Structure 1
Amino acid sequence: MSDADQVARQLLALARLVKRAEPAPVEPMCLPLLAMLAEEGPFRAGEIAATLGVHPSTVSRQVAGLVRAGLVERRADPEDGRASPLVVTAAGRRILDAEHQRRAAQFGTALAGWSPEARARFADLLGCFVSDLQRTRPLPLDVIER
């Protein structure tokens, strides 16, 4: 098995563990969308679908649920009256903060037996991996043209 295969298997196992740890306060599939809006938004729904590489109807359902829950709101676009950029509300930011704290605590517990040097090295390597993965991931054309 190649190193890349081992990394892929471990990342899938990690994703399953994180999802099973404790129920999230919102639909787990909505958390990446909420985080993206908070970190990089505002975005239109079509931009979100293209960036996440999912079908627009999937984003529409998720956005509708987030709007109903008061975690995201639609704003009028001053340059294009037909557009409705999506923005995370204060309640949405509180959910993201709580989720971040929950996961940080979970990861902290898992890393508690590691030496400070091993934890720092792991954090550095993981950061490099994520940066390289983002850099090498092909982007949809409409995202590149923005």
Structure 2
Amino acid sequence: MASRSAVSGPRSDSVDLAHSVDDVDRLRVVLIRVARRIRSRAQGDITPSQLAVLGTVINHQPLTNGQIAEHEHVRPPTSSKIVDALERAGLVERRADPADRRCVQITATAAGHAYADEVRAAGRTWIAEQIDSLDGADVRAIEQALPALERLLAGDPD
């Protein structure tokens, strides 16, 4: 794998992800910080965990609490607390499963869909503003990197 570079200081444009642990760390930190900034601009009044669960419900509904926990890689009591908060906020609702009244299905409400749309729009706006501030070469570099970044997630279900 990669070795740790002995040189520290100002970051260069030279990157070697195959051989430099420092460069792998640079990529990790940049991805985390970009995601955090998008969330902070787009999140509104709910927590990042609540926003993630709302997105999961919207993308895969209807879901049981156990299915949400599986998607989010948390324990069912944790996902249940998150769903409780989202339900109190009017963003999701629980309904009895018509095929098995012992099961409860969780779906997003119209308000939940609208909230998610607002969050996505705010995130897109922030990204567009950041990209507009870059020079053409940086924009092209991001455009060329996007397919490879998407492949990083190809095997990881969300």
TM-score above 0.5: yes
TM superposition shift of 1:116: 6.7
Unmatched segments (≥5 aa) in structure 2: 1-19
TM superposition shift of 1:97: 0.7
User: Does the C-alpha gap of structure 1 residues 72 and 12 become closer, same or farther in structure 2, counting only changes over 3 Å?
Assistant: same
Alignment-derived partner of residue 58 in structure 1: 78
Q: 2:132, 2:56 → 1: CA distance?
A: 29
Identity of aligned residues (%): 28
Alignment-derived partner of residue 60 in structure 2: 40
User: Does the C-alpha gap of structure 1 residues 46 and 111 become closer, same or farther in structure 2, counting only changes over 3 Å?
Assistant: same
TM superposition shift of 1:112: 0.5
Q: Which has the larger Rg?
A: 2
Q: Does 1:110 align with 2:127?
A: no
- Mapping for residues 1-146 of structure 1, pairs under 5 Å: 1-2=20-21, 3-21=23-41, 24-114=44-134, 119=139, 122-123=142-143, 125-135=145-155, 137=156
- Of the structure 1 ranges 75-84 and 64-73, higher mean CA displacement relative to structure 2 is found in 75-84
Q: 1:92, 1:7 → 2: CA distance?
A: 33
Partner SS for 2:48: coil
- Of the structure 1 ranges 10-19 and 91-100, higher mean CA displacement relative to structure 2 is found in 10-19
Q: 1:71, 1:80 → 2: CA distance?
A: 24
Asked if 2 retains the 8 angstrom alpha-carbon contact of 1:25 and 1:95, the reply is no
Structure 1 residues 54-102: Cα deviation after superposition (integer angstroms, max 9, x where no partner): 1222111110011111110112212221111110000001100111111
TM-score by length of 1: 0.79
Number of residue pairs aligned between Structure 1 and Structure 2 = 137
- Looking at both structures, which has the greater relative contact order when contacts are Cα pairs under 8 Å and sequence separation is at least 6? 1
Unmatched segments (≥5 aa) in structure 1: 140-146
Q: 1:31, 1:23 → 2: CA distance?
A: 7
Q: Which has the higher helix share?
A: 1
Q: 1:81, 1:53 → 2: CA distance?
A: 26
Letter in 2 for 1:112: D
Aligned residues: CA RMSD: 2.4
